[in-house]
Chain A
Amino acid sequence: MATATSEAPALAPAPATKPPRRRGRWTPYWLLLPGLLWLFVFFALPMVYQVSTSVQTGSLEEGYKVTWHFATYWNALADYWPQFLRSVLYAGSATVLCLLLGYPLAYLIAFRAGRWRNLIMILVIAPFFTSFLIRTLAWKTILADGGPVVGVLNSLHVLDVTSRLGITAGDRVLATPLAVVCGLTYNFLPFMILPLYTSLERIDGRLHEAAGDLYARPFTTFRKVTFPLSMPGVVSGTLLTFIPASGDYVNADLLGSTDTRMVGNVIQTQFLRILDYPTAAALSFILMAAILVMVTLYIRKSGTEDLV
């Protein structure tokens, strides 16, 4: 007590030398506001709306009411689990294909292209100049029955093998799983190449020399140095490919058949044709949650939380 009173006079002058008011302390928050508002209106609100829709019951004529009818989720899952499985399978295959096709190309652009680098980059991005829909329709022509691609594959007896594997049907490529996966691979390839290129391009070429200097053969250098260092690109590339591909319905719609319907097609039909909004909303929510779980496990496993 005594010390407290004796200290009081010493503290007294402090308010006199009040620090100057920090100007612009609120500026960062003001600058964040438009973005937060945008997220609220176009992300948070629709999410709430979607959750509420998914637990409603009723019909289009009588109107829907929130009745906390969670059974919609179980029914949707029970009815459409094959489509969910197919989505994961097709998107997964397309992602693996994108990685296999995109990695060598990204490597080439980053380390070997020299003065051709910019031209190849433009070629990678060039498809974006045309609409997604038109490009997918073009694949319909490319893979058409009796077209040159099918002809060549047929004469090489490739289609015999793929038919036996169940990914094509007889002489047809169009309207088969192969066509859908091809379309997905094609459409999402740039999303794989760009992050791969970015992370490869950042690798110091002298690290290759350093590895070579330490008796690493070129392929060992790739395995032990280049590939581990490109992991951030691999992870973000696969995510950028897998996530949109698993929700895609255009490729399955245009290049597939009723046997290749993905969950995106089901949601589209439920929303726009059957007008069963609760089921469509529940399906969307399940898809979102499933992707979130898979992506979390994947990032955990690849140990690159801080790199993505």
Chain B
Amino acid sequence: MNDMTLEKAATVEFRGLRREFGPTVALDGLDLDVRPGELVALLGPSGCGKTTALRMLAGFEHPDSGEVLVDGQDVTEVPAHRRDAGMVFQSYSLFPHLSAVDNVAFGLRMRKVRTAERRARAAELLDLVGLGDKGERFPHQLSGGQQQRVAVARALINHPKVLLLDEPLGALDLKLRRQMQLELKRIQTEVGITFVHVTHDQEEAMTMADTVAVMNGGRVEQLGSPSDLYENPRTTFVANFLGTSNLIEAEVDTRSGDGIVLKAGGGKLLLPEARCSAPTTTGGKVLVGVRPEKISLTHADAAGDIPAGRNRITGKIAATSFIGVSTQYVVDSAVCPEFEVYVQNIDRDAKLAPGAEVVLHWNPAHTFGLHADQSLLAGTTGSAGVGTVDDEAAV
């Protein structure tokens, strides 16, 4: 296994990739830099171009314009069978007529490695993915998770500079998916090469990736570490696609120190200036966001107990749902219909039932500000954000 950990990790660069399929723009000038040895997730709804970008890196698709660089070298014109990239396919695409060990050894056979050596190396990789004893089984005799591991081993056999994963866990059930997320992360740490992982599952991206590139409409909407993206989304799309956000339309009133005071529906909210990605001239519009789990809920009768200096909004509970670790409340408020609040089930207040008048309050430091010039609903379920040529021509 030593020769594998010594493998040099490569950088990956996408430069202005553009690709149209008929009237659909799959990639609209995609730029992305991946650092060596990093696990980067391309995250986005279906149709956002993430798979197309991955297939261009593998060499299965050719961009209309732009280039792909691996380790600083332009590989745009290099056919797939001469690229140093290993691919794990969505449906695994194992060769059904070959046993697990022969599937893994296939890449070595193509490189004319002698039989004894390639079987030894394939067995070594099967050990790495925890299938050392299943080498003689055929794909149809293996479970989905096991096929997945064989596919990973097969893609790693030629010491690729980059491993590409196309929705690798999509076909597995939830429990197995969790297990494989950690497993893939472990393998990546062990072999130390660059992983590019395509997924539409935000939880999977956040669990596994060092860096997440949130994609929308054929380009990267925002790039960053999972926690950075979650805490500091720069667009409503990212705010809604990664977890849930409550967004409120507000108007800039005054400044106070490092903060900005905003007017929203008669009340005032405080927003740290560092967490606002929009210009903040007085009278300008800003979207204020806050994550549901940052909010505390107090019955209106006990409003006096709320410490000073917190952002407050009043409303009425529309619905509650108990989900074990927490209770989710939907609150109707003048500034935002369907405000979502997640409260941990520590001391449940029986008065917080549908119909109750409540005060929502949170630490102003947890507030983020977004440019007002975008849809509040971008990135929520149902809006895929696929751009078409027709749409763009109409704009």
Contact = CB atoms under 8 A, between A and B. Distances in A.
A229 B97 contact: yes
B93 A209 contact: yes
Interface in B344-391: none
Interface stretch (A128-136, A189-197, A215-223, A243-251): A215-223
B80 A213 contact: yes
Interface string A227-244: 011000000000000000
A207 interface: yes
B87 interface: yes
Interface residues of A, number: 18
A213 B95 contact: no
B188 interface: no
B81 A225 contact: no
A220 B80 CA distance: 14
A231 to B, nearest CB: 8
Given A209-B60, A209-B80, A229-B96, A216 B91 contact: no
Interface stretch (B103-111, B171-179, B198-206, B278-286): B103-111
Contact of B97 (A212, A213, A228): A228
Contacts of B86: 213-214
A204 interface: yes
Given A209-B60, A220-B110, A215 B93 contact: no
Contacts of A206: 89, 91, 93
Nearest to A207: B93
- Interface size class on chain B is 20 to 34
Given A209-B87, A210-B87, A210-B89, A215 B82 contact: yes
Given A228-B97, A229-B97, A214 B89 contact: no
Given A215-B158, A216-B81, A216-B110, A210 B95 contact: yes
Interface in A68-111: none
Given A228-B97, A229-B96, A209 B89 contact: yes
Contacts of B87: 209-210, 213
A75 to B, nearest CB: 48
A215 B95 contact: no
B58 interface: yes
A137 interface: no
A217 B94 CA distance: 18
A211 interface: yes
A229 B96 CA distance: 8
B100 interface: no
Interface string B54-79: 00001110000000000000000001
A211 to B, nearest CB: 7
Given A206-B89, A206-B91, A229-B97, A211 B60 contact: no
Interface of B: 58-60, 79-83, 85-87, 89, 91, 93-97, 106-107, 109-111, 154-155, 157-158
23 contacts: A204-B93, A206-B89, A209-B58, A209-B87, A209-B89, A210-B93, A210-B94, A211-B106, A211-B110, A213-B86, A213-B87, A213-B155, A214-B107, A214-B110, A214-B154, A214-B157, A215-B81, A215-B111, A216-B81, A216-B106, A216-B110, A224-B106, A225-B95
